[in-house]
Amino acid sequence: MLKIGNQTFESRFLLGTGKFPDFKIQKQAVEVSKANILTFALRRMNVFQPDQPNFLEMLDVDKYTLLPNTAGASTAEEAIRTAHLAKASGLCDMVKVEIIGDSRTLLPDPIETYKACEVLLEEGFILLPYISDDLVLAKRLEALGVHAVMPGVSPIGSGQGILNPTQLQLIIETINIPVIVDAGIGSPADAALAMSLGADGVLLNTAVSGAKDPVKMANAMRLAIQAGRLGYEAGRIDKREYAVPSSPVEGLSVSE
Ligand SMILES: CC(=O)[C@@H](O)[C@H](O)COP(=O)(O)O
């Protein structure tokens, strides 16, 4: 179970809802993913115009926890405004703080992210900030009181996978709030690796919405995330420099 704030979720797979070829495929992929939490950019919703089309309209949104993100913000002030809009629309008081500091790489701005979290925590929001794989920032945000950290493992939408597993592992080992890998996952193998390193969850979008068969990929990601978690809980063997025979000549591993 994934626990964020005082809520628990069965699935550790958080799915982004953007960029699907059409709403029908989006709905099927969401269902197959068995994700409990769906993310979306609040700026893409007609939150105060329920009669207008919006891109979650084919989903039975009551079945999911919606996690609006502040995509489009480049300052703390803009992100705070977007979070207020989310709350005012009654969507959710859980927000993914996403403040982009560089338009080419879409890397998050650590200073503006910290500032926005400071203000929004005071206002009672449940916060999941999107950050780089920066251990020190993750520690500072944890100390501030955020409810999870979401380190990107490579640039959003790049599908490059985990560029620096050591850096990710350091965050996972050190931080005591959920660490949800967010952005850059390209394949089920990447998702399984993130989970087997001990991540608490994976948020991804492009790898599913941009796949040749998004529904099949949503299923593959679900299984990979589950397998990675199981492997982590089972405890992998230590890596050794030299071979160790699987069938030792002395000493049986089972007694008769
Ligand atoms: C949906 C969302 O919030 C994205 O900004 C998220 O970071 C996913 O990134 P990928 O598209 O690289 O999976």
Amino acid 253: pLDDT: 62
DSSP E strands, the chain: 2-4, 7-9, 13-16, 37-41, 65-69, 94-97, 100-102, 107-108, 126-131, 150-151, 180-182, 201-204
pLDDT of 1 above 80: yes
Q: What is the pLDDT of residue 213?
A: 98
pLDDT interval class at 56 (50, 70, 90): low
Name the residue type at position 35. A
Which range has the top average pLDDT, 101-105, 113-117, 239-243, 247-251?
113-117
Report ipTM for this prediction: 0.92
**Active-site residue flag, 96:** yes
Tens digit of pLDDT for each residue in 63-120?
899 999 999 999 999 999 999 998 888 777 899 999 999 999 999 999 999 999 999 9
Check the annotation: does 82 bind a ligand: no
Atom of ligand 1 minimally distant from the CA of 130: 7
Residue of 33, 39, 95 with the most ligand 1 atoms within 8 Å of its CB, for mutation: 39
183 assigned binding-site residue: yes
| Atom 1 of ligand 1, residue of closest alpha carbon | 16
Please answer whether residues 202 and 238 qualify as being in contact, where contact means their C-beta atoms are separated by less than 8 angstroms: no
> At residue 123, does pLDDT exceed 70?
yes
Binding site membership of 207 for ligand 1 (Cβ less than 6 Å): yes
Residue ranges per domain, the chain?
A: 2-234
Which of these, 20, 11, 13, lies nearest to 208 by C-alpha position?
20
Q: pLDDT of 201-232, one tens digit each?
A: 999 999 999 999 999 999 999 999 999 999 99
Catalytic residue chosen out of the listed positions 96, 139, 212, 216: 96
Per CATH, the number for 2-234 is 3.20.20.70
| Residue 157 in marked binding region | yes
Q: Give the residue whose CA is nearest to atom 7 of ligand 1.
A: 183
- Backbone φ and ψ for 188, nearest 5 degrees, come out as -60, -35
Q: Is the CB of 204 under 6 A from ligand 1?
A: yes
Tokens representing 143 are 């100390």
Minimum CA distance residue for ligand 1 atom 9: 183
Identify whether the C-beta of residue 12 lies closer than 8 Å to the C-beta of residue 195.
yes
* Residue 237: C-alpha distances to residues 69, 110, 189, 244 (Å): 38, 36, 19, 12
Half-sphere exposure of 231 (CA within 13 A, CB side): 18
User: What's the sign of the alpha-carbon dihedral 159, 162, 164, 169?
Assistant: positive
Say yes or no: CB of residue 186 within 6 Å of ligand 1. Answer: no
How confident is the model over 141-192, as pLDDT tens digits? 999 999 999 999 999 999 999 999 999 999 999 999 999 999 999 999 999 9
- To the question of whether residue 113 is assigned a binding role by annotation, the answer is no
pLDDT at 60: 80
- Percent of all residues in the chain with a pLDDT value above 90, rounded to a whole number: 81
Distance from Cα 205 to the centre of ligand 1, integer Å: 5
184 CA → ligand 1 middle, Å: 7
The residues pairing with 40 across neighbouring beta strands, listed in sequence order, are 68
Nearest atom in ligand 1 to 184's CA: 12
Q: How far apart are CA 205 and CA 222, in angstroms?
A: 13
**Environment class of 243 (CB within 10 Å of its CB; exposed 0-12, middle 13-18, buried 19+):** exposed
